[in-house]
Amino acid sequence: MKKFSLLIVPKLGGSIREHTFTVRTLVLLAALVIFGFVSLYFTLRDIHPFLIERNELMNLRAENKNLEEQLLEITKRIILLKKKIDGINRKEAEIRKLAKLDEEGKPAFIPPEVRDAAQQKIEKINADLRNLTTLSRYYDSLIDKISSQTDIISHLPTLRPVCDSAYVSARFGMKEDPFSGKVKPHQGLDFAFHIGTPVRAAASGTVSFTGKEKGFGNVVRINHGYGFETMYAHLDQVRTSAGRTVVKGQEIGSLGNSGRSIGPHLHYEVLKNGKQVDPETYF
């Protein structure tokens, strides 16, 4: 079989080393290098969308915090505006009473200078009142817009469904099946901890299913809208029912060992537009 030699000559002197390779060895090395580059390419291609989603989520969280601060400030301003409007209404009523004006501004028999001064005061009050009312409506529209944005955030599955003490025993990706020994896709996160540990909704939404599923035991599924759904499996107990509305962080069940399981854990999945995605992208 044809062989190739590689001579290594030290720059500063010393013994020359020779390495001999067969054609088969060189072909194998080339194949390994090509396989490595191809694997790296597909890995980076698969990771890239998740990195984009994580950046978008971080931007949404920062925007949500900013929107909440704006909402609080606008609410304070509206409360102040309403107090000013109430005060102006009281002043107008008091001036009408003092000037003996009826609701249409028609004066009783009083000196002209008093009547004119009172009428000017009322006109100024009415102008201020119109300005304040317009500003109040503008703030109300801002609150509506900000509330819609915060509603989107509340429906994103960004909350860890179990306590921080629970550890991740299996991540999203390929995993060896403990029963068959075969490597299969694992389409969620496994959190291992004590039976009975509270399991909470990762986001607000409507419970779409509760019951048993083959292999998963006791299961809760929640539809969060905006294309998101979450699934909680191997539960010990289910503490909600289909059709109920839940809020982010609400307890929906407890961690268990039901279904095809080798130990107490929660199997948690996030679906976006019907396709499983890595839940850790959203934590």
Q: Is position 126 within any domain?
A: yes
How many of the other CB atoms lie within 10 Å of CB of 96? 17
Tell me which DSSP letter residue 270 carries: E
Q: What average pLDDT values come out for the chain (283 residues) when binned by 10 residues? A: 62 66 71 75 62 69 71 71 69 61 50 62 70 70 65 86 94 85 90 96 96 96 95 97 95 96 95 94 86
Q: How many structural domains are present in the chain?
A: 3
Domain boundary residue, one of 125, 154, 183? 154
Specify whether 276 is located in the same domain as 173: yes
| C-alpha closest to that of 99 among 123, 132, 133, 129 | 123
In a domain, 162, yes or no: no
Backbone CA torsion sign across 224, 154, 161, 184: positive
Are both 187 and 270 inside the same structural domain? yes
The confidence score (pLDDT) of residue 151 equals 74
Q: Is residue 276 part of a domain?
A: yes
Could you write out the DSSP letters of every residue in 50-96? HHHHHHHHHHHHHHHHHHHHHHHHHHHHHHHHHHHHHHHHHHHHHHH
Range of the domain at 71: 61-154
- Predicted pLDDT at 234: 97
Domain boundary among 29, 59, 89: 59
Same-domain pairing of 52 and 70: no
What pLDDT does 189 receive? 96
- φ/ψ region of 17 (left if φ > 0, alpha if ψ in -120 to 50, else beta) reads beta
Whether 38 is covered by a domain: the verdict is: yes
Q: Is residue 143 part of a domain?
A: yes
The pTM for the full model equals: 0.56
Same-domain check for residues 77 and 148: yes
- 175 and 251 share one domain: yes
In angstroms, the Cα distances linking 2 to 5, 246, 274 are 10, 72, 56
Whether 184 and 259 map to the same domain: the answer is yes
Please check whether residues 102 and 37 belong to one and the same domain: no
pLDDT of residue 270: 96
- Examine residue 214 and state whether it is found in any structural domain, yes or no: yes
- Give 156's DSSP letter: S
**179 and 103 in one domain?**
no
Q: What is the CATH number of the domain that holds 72?
A: 1.10.287
Taking a C-beta distance cutoff of 8 angstroms, is the pair 205, 240 a contact?
no
Tell me, yes or no, whether 200 lies in a domain.
yes
Q: CATH number, domain at 217?
A: 2.70.70.10
